[in-house]
Structure 1
Amino acid sequence: MNIILTAVNAKYIHSNLAVYSLRAYAKPYLDEIEIAEYTINQTTDFILMDLYKKQPDILCFSCYIWNIEYVTELIVEIKKLLPEVPIWLGGPEVSYDAAQVLESYPQVTGIMKGEGEETFLEVLDYYHGKSSNLSDIPGLTYREDGQIRENPWRTVMDLSKVPFVYQDIDKFENKIIYYESSRGCPFSCSYCLSSVDKCLRFRNLDLVKKELQFFLDHKIPQVKFVDRTFNCNQKHAMAVWSYIYEHDNGITNFHFEVAADILTEEEIALLHKMRPGLVQLEIGVQSTNPDTITEIHRKMDFQKVAEIVRQINAGKNVHQHLDLIAGLPYEGLDSFQKSFDEVYAVRPEQLQLGFLKVLKGSYMAEHQEEYKMIHKDKPPYEVLSTKWLSYDDVLVLKSVEEMVETFYNSGQFGSTIEHLEQYFSSAFEMYCRMGRFYEEQGYHKRSHSRIGRYEILLEFIKTAVPEESLVFFQELLTFDLYLRENVKNRPAFAGDYTVEKEELFHLYDEVFPREEALAGYAGKHQRKMIHIEKFQYDILSERKEKRETLILLDYQKRNPLNHQAKVIRLPIET
């Protein structure tokens, strides 16, 4: 029998852990199951042709908000070509309104609801004649004799029984590796489907350590834990973090989603010991409005979150990514601005501004009338307006999101943005003004090169700061540019190169050899790997201070958190 498990991923670098887990668990039929992975960047025509060529006997699709439109188009068309082939769906996008999906798509044979490993295996047993009735399989909604039948949901399984799926690691080259050491979530956030399943389970730690060692031995670039709140069990979190700290291979990065306000002093102390770049943390703040936090059934002390984020930042070794969600109850534009400014003030490496998705089966979806919540009918069901937030306000936030992504999260303009903030009443106001400028100039209608973004930022700066400060900001932009890249073509805003040849030769031949810390830069082979720049202002000071500054940027010694070159202040001889 030819069984196809189909995954349509958001990007090529993504892999679908779910279909690999289903295949691995269905061990008796391993040789009959093929995984077919595609991306939403491929045409449905291409996927349709490829699936048809495989001539499946059973065709299954993994369904999420980012791919459901592709999947529904595919099932309609492929059923015309393969009318006798049973089509099964699974995943969060079809689990919570399974009967309605079957009514809408008569091409679908049935839906495997929720956790799928045991259900998938039992469905294959049915097709192999080992069981006679689909009605005996928990977790199914299916079509039989023209009727839609719903079986009870399946009791959750022991996570340690799910096989490890990465033995053939070469198949995942150039892909992010997703890994789960727990399922379920202890929290009840009303916008999230993890709150529906209250059964929190952990994979056996001996198994986890063995599998982590596999990743370390194979020098996997990044392993992304998909645990909903990784640190909800301190013993489990400490065991995993201690293991990767003690067995660090100097290459692999591990990503965790955590609740910052429940991090303990012991956990923070361990994080401070980590190699820079060994771990990165994603922290879902969502809002700092107490009424909003209460309404969405979330427990979070933002003051404690802010303090812990600052403590971790002080170690300068852990990348932190903080999230906000626009469109939540009781959060209007003014309230969101306050949330934004409070989160921005703790200086995470990235601040993700997302928009509420009103997911099927969530508490939020059930109360959307109460909140006067309007959202898109099509996936990802993004909010358009609420009782507190108009669509005009949403457009403002969309503009802010774009500016934050371009000028903050990119990490390309750090020094410039930090000084520019001082000319505005708040960071939020600065990004609002920036967004309006972008639209007024028509820049939002087209893409821009990296140098083009620097030039646009300088245009905006000219509208916001006094003329006497423009040279200072041009130098900041030049510094930010060379921090990331030793550009060959010097942009106009940087002016002429500021260090004369005679001064460069003096540094290489006389200054560097006699300074122990600089002696390594004296050789000619090093000169292509560094850049030396002179500024009128002390570009490394937190304040605007006019004082000639000479710096060396070493591109061989980059910061693993932000990939910026190492910066060395050079002596200026008079």
Structure 2
Amino acid sequence: MNPLLVALNASYVHTNLAVRLLRDSTKRPVGLLEMTINESKDVMLQKILRERPDVILYSAYIWNWPEIETLGRYIKKALPEIKQYVGGPEVTYDSVERMEEAAWIDGILRGEGEDSFDDFLAYLAGEAEAEAVAGLVYRCGDKIHANPVKGPLSMDGLPAGYEEEDLNHRIAYYESMRGCPYHCSYCLSSEDDVVRYRSVEEIKAHMRRIFRTGTKLVKFVDRSFHIRPARTKEIVRFFIDEAPEGMCIHFEMNLEHMTPDVAELINEAPAGLFQIEAGIQSVNPEVNRRIHRSTDLDKMKRAMVMIDRDKVHIHVDLIVGLPGEDMDSFLRGFDRVVPLGAKKIQIGFLKLLRGTKLRRRAEEFHIVYDDRPPYEVIRTDVLRAGEVLLLKNFATIVENYYDEDVFLAVKSEIKRRGLCPSEFYMAMARALEQNIH
């Protein structure tokens, strides 16, 4: 048997943590192939077939599902003897229906695969029955069977995912915890509210190995890294003491819960070592109520003041298309976020992800979204389709003229003149609309 894990990343700089964790969770030989969605179908097929697999295991997300479907259908016709399995969030929540629609899929592995991957490989090798593989959805004659998923996996002993490999000019991703204590209805993490942590000593050991890969950017995928202040301080102190020169560590944090002692320690770091992403999404209380979220801008402002922003890059997120958020509400929210002084304001567009509570309630909230990945909002009952497109121009303008350092003087001048930031950037967005050619 020659199984091959296949990852299709958004671009070369990204790496796929999931397939590395699966590879390292078994002692059986497993191949790993990383490509990008920007490569042609023919090139990807040649790379896959060069490995001579008899089983292919795809890692599926909203950004690579169309390419996986294309490859899967082709291989099913060209080389039907190759078995093809899929795992990942894009196929986890409607697995039976997906397999009914896609004859090329031989099975789907759901849940935390590190806990069942070795059993899965034993099944593929004919050493175990399909029923023994937790989370496996498989065909048996004309019927599709779905095995129950195991409970939450302990983080103890879980591999880092990165060992001896060259990650120069590439990003390393890392999990120091799984699960999320919050219940934002648009996010898949809300479906896993059992929070589990790695030990700090294990994190240090993993990071020392990752430091040797040559990467300059490590992104923690934890949803709220600093939930436990004492643990956070121990990890932050480790990076200050041991991270190589020129490295950047990215955390996602809820700044409303930032404590002064954590902020004080972060400020001891050399400039550029830490980068913080803080999700705001909306400042409209009614919108936040609908998505099971709360935002306290005053607390966020106090946190931003505590952190030395000459040393620490902070960017905040807003989402277009949330239920009940019209154009005026979104732009008023933007104007309230600008005074926080974040390095960047990242404007995203609501994605109705499979498995999320908001997707299940989309009709109730009158949200119309694209049927194809990434399932992005098209319109709502309070935001017309044309307004969504205009706000895409607005997001482009903000990315190019607010987020970039070369236009710092423009931001200062807007403030000095007392101009409304949203009106200024929206005027540019409308000009772009008129000159879209």
Q: Answer whether TM exceeds 0.5 for this pair.
A: yes
What is the Cα deviation at residue 410 of structure 1?
A: 2.2
Kept in 2: contact 1:424–1:430 (CA 8 A): no
Corresponding residue of 1:5:
5
Deviates more, 1:1-10 or 1:393-402: 393-402
Corresponding residue of 1:270:
265
CA distance in 1, matches of 2:309, 2:78: 59
Corresponding residue of 1:387:
381
What is the Cα deviation at residue 152 of structure 1?
A: 1.0
CA distance in 1, matches of 2:374, 2:418: 34
- The Cα offsets for residues 180-234 of structure 1, whole Å up to 9 and x where unpaired, read as 1111111100000001112211112111011223334565311111111111222
- The Cα offsets for residues 473-521 of structure 1, whole Å up to 9 and x where unpaired, read as xxxxxxxxxxxxxxxxxxxxxxxxxxxxxxxxxxxxxxxxxxxxxxxxx
Which one of 141, 147, 161 corresponds to residue 145 of structure 1? Answer: 141
Structure number with higher helix proportion: 1
Kept in 2: contact 1:219–1:251 (CA 8 A): no
CA distance in 1, matches of 2:301, 2:329: 18
Which one of 160, 183, 190 corresponds to residue 164 of structure 1? Answer: 160
Corresponding residue of 1:461:
none
What is the Cα deviation at residue 84 of structure 1?
A: 1.8
Which one of 343, 346, 350 corresponds to residue 349 of structure 1? Answer: 343
Which one of 169, 186, 210 corresponds to residue 215 of structure 1? Answer: 210
1:143-542 map, 5 Å:
143-170=139-166, 172-216=167-211, 220-312=215-307, 314-420=308-414, 422=416, 425-440=419-434, 442=435, 444-445=436-437
What is the Cα deviation at residue 422 of structure 1?
A: 4.8
Corresponding residue of 1:549:
none
Kept in 1: contact 2:184–2:291 (CA 8 A): yes
Q: State the identity %.
A: 36
- The Cα offsets for residues 107-142 of structure 1, whole Å up to 9 and x where unpaired, read as 1111011211122211101122331x2122211111
What is the Cα deviation at residue 176 of structure 1?
A: 0.5
Kept in 2: contact 1:376–1:384 (CA 8 A): yes
Kept in 1: contact 2:75–2:82 (CA 8 A): no
Kept in 2: contact 1:281–1:321 (CA 8 A): yes
CA distance in 1, matches of 2:105, 2:245: 48
- The Cα offsets for residues 424-468 of structure 1, whole Å up to 9 and x where unpaired, read as 74101101101122333x2x44xxxxxxxxxxxxxxxxxxxxxxx
CA distance in 2, matches of 1:305, 1:288: 11
Kept in 2: contact 1:6–1:37 (CA 8 A): yes
Corresponding residue of 1:122:
119
The unaligned stretches of length 5 or more in structure 1 are 446-574
Kept in 1: contact 2:414–2:420 (CA 8 A): no
What is the Cα deviation at residue 101 of structure 1?
A: 0.9
The unaligned stretches of length 5 or more in structure 2 are none
CA distance in 2, matches of 1:309, 1:342: 14
Aligned-residue CA RMSD (Å):
1.5
Kept in 1: contact 2:390–2:433 (CA 8 A): no
Kept in 1: contact 2:414–2:421 (CA 8 A): no
CA distance in 1, matches of 2:48, 2:61: 19
- The Cα offsets for residues 271-328 of structure 1, whole Å up to 9 and x where unpaired, read as 111111010100000011111112111133222112212332x452100010001111
The residue type paired with residue 82 of structure 1 is L
CA distance in 2, matches of 1:270, 1:144: 57
Counterpart secondary structure, 1:230: coil
Kept in 2: contact 1:52–1:78 (CA 8 A): no
CA distance in 2, matches of 1:299, 1:235: 24
Residues 1:218 and 1:71: Cα distance change in structure 2 (over 3 Å): closer
- The Cα offsets for residues 353-372 of structure 1, whole Å up to 9 and x where unpaired, read as 00000001101001111111
Deviates more, 1:287-296 or 1:50-59: 50-59
The residue type paired with residue 19 of structure 1 is V
Which one of 99, 109, 120 corresponds to residue 106 of structure 2? Answer: 109
Kept in 1: contact 2:169–2:215 (CA 8 A): no
CA distance in 2, matches of 1:315, 1:19: 35
Counterpart secondary structure, 1:409: coil
CA distance in 1, matches of 2:335, 2:431: 20
Counterpart secondary structure, 2:222: coil
Kept in 1: contact 2:63–2:374 (CA 8 A): yes
- The Cα offsets for residues 348-396 of structure 1, whole Å up to 9 and x where unpaired, read as 1110000000001101001111111001111100001112211122122
Counterpart secondary structure, 1:224: strand
What is the Cα deviation at residue 98 of structure 1?
A: 0.5
CA distance in 2, matches of 1:379, 1:408: 29
- The Cα offsets for residues 395-438 of structure 1, whole Å up to 9 and x where unpaired, read as 22111101001111122211133214555741011011011223
Residues 1:141 and 1:218: Cα distance change in structure 2 (over 3 Å): closer
The residue type paired with residue 174 of structure 2 is Y
1:59 paired with 2:56, answer yes
Kept in 1: contact 2:168–2:213 (CA 8 A): no
Counterpart secondary structure, 1:64: coil
Counterpart secondary structure, 2:57: strand
Counterpart secondary structure, 2:271: coil
CA distance in 1, matches of 2:190, 2:422: 31
CA distance in 2, matches of 1:123, 1:216: 32
Which one of 36, 42, 46 corresponds to residue 33 of structure 2? Answer: 36
What is the Cα deviation at residue 53 of structure 1?
A: 2.8
CA distance in 1, matches of 2:251, 2:408: 25
Corresponding residue of 1:568:
none
CA distance in 2, matches of 1:413, 1:162: 44
What is the Cα deviation at residue 339 of structure 1?
A: 1.1
Determine which structure has more spread, i.e. the larger CA radius of gyration: 1
CA distance in 2, matches of 1:53, 1:267: 50
CA distance in 2, matches of 1:44, 1:223: 30
CA distance in 1, matches of 2:384, 2:228: 39
The residue type paired with residue 47 of structure 2 is D
CA distance in 2, matches of 1:129, 1:256: 43
Kept in 1: contact 2:9–2:15 (CA 8 A): yes
How many residues in Structure 1 have an aligned counterpart in Structure 2? 437
